[in-house]
Amino acid sequence: SQQGEEDPQALSIQEGENATMNCSYKTSINNLQWYRQNSGRGLVHLILIRSNEREKHSGRLRVTLDTSKKSSSLLITASRAADTASYFCATGLDSNYQLIWGAGTKLIIKP
């Protein structure tokens, strides 16, 4: 079953702009992770935020987590053409660490 739902399904922006993607989930989690997948490639881990954290940064990435609203957002600042990819959120369940995946947001950065 897929409990993570990314929003929007697709996003197209100009290079240099910021991109924001959202993820909502349904049950109690231990952690939430974001992954990137370039076309035809495997997934690459970007960032993990634990349920007791509210915000985390990694380079141009900023992730927030609101457990009261059961939602997270991924912000990519100063986007580059190389950021064109699909982005997936995955929630680690509190009970058994099982990872539940969303359907992803397809991000296109126009040069």
Partner 1 sequence: EAGVAQSPRYKIIEKRQSVAFWCNPISGHATLYWYQQILGQGPKLLIQFQNNGVVDDSQLPKDRFSAERLKGVDSTLKIQPAKLEDSAVYLCASSLGPETGELFFGEGSRLTVL
Return residues touching partner 1 (CB under 8 A): 2, 4, 31, 33, 35, 40-45, 48, 88, 92, 96-99, 101-104
* Closest approach of partner 1 to the CB of residue 16, in Å: 28
Phi, psi values for residue 104, rounded to 5° = 95, 155
Cβ distance to partner 1 smaller for residue 78 or 97: 97
CA distance linking residue 24 with residue 91, whole number of Å: 10
Structure tokens at 96: 């058994």
Cβ distance to partner 1 smaller for residue 18 or 38: 38
* Closest approach of partner 1 to the CB of residue 92, in Å: 6
Structure tokens at 69: 């609203």
